[in-house]
Structure 1
Amino acid sequence: MTTATWRTSSYSGNNGGNCVEAGVARPGRVLVRDTKDRAGAVLSVPAGAWRRFTSALK
């Protein structure tokens, strides 16, 4: 997880800091963590499931 490349949503500054970051550490998996607790728990999900989830939010 320490080698992950993390991204924060462009909307993260608009919600009072209540957001998550998504990262990739290996192909086919997306990592998700709380921006306020970067040393905390990390959720790992299949990339296809992440794409379906984010598409449903749009």
Structure 2
Amino acid sequence: MPVFDFVKSSYSTASDECVEIAINVPGTVAIRDSKTPSGPTLHVTPAAWAAFREAIVQEDAA
């Protein structure tokens, strides 16, 4: 099983709740809740992650 190297968003502070992502495993973006690091993870393709990020940027710009 691959070992994911999770990182928090640079926009979060130490006390904020946010998601963490890992992009160190080829072909997979792993996402988890920063409040529950030992909890479940969601795995998506890099293309799905890019589409999600693009949708957020477009929503934020509206």
Moved over 2 A (4+): none
1:28, CA displacement in angstroms? 1.1
If the length of structure 1 is used for normalisation, what is the TM-score? 0.80
User: Aligned residues: percent identity?
Assistant: 37
CA deviations over 1:2-57 (Å, ceiling 9, x no partner): 6212121111129x622100003521110000001100010001110001101211
Give distance in 2, aligned partners of 1:38 and 1:27. Answer: 21
Task: Pick the structure with greater CA Rg.
Answer: 2
Counterpart AA for 2:9: S
Structure richer in strand, relative to its length: 1
If the length of structure 2 is used for normalisation, what is the TM-score? 0.76
**Cα-Cα RMSD:** 2.1
Give distance in 2, aligned partners of 1:6 and 1:24. Answer: 8
Uncovered stretches (5+) of structure 2, i.e. residues with no partner: 58-62
Contact 1:25 1:31 (8 Å CA) reproduced: no
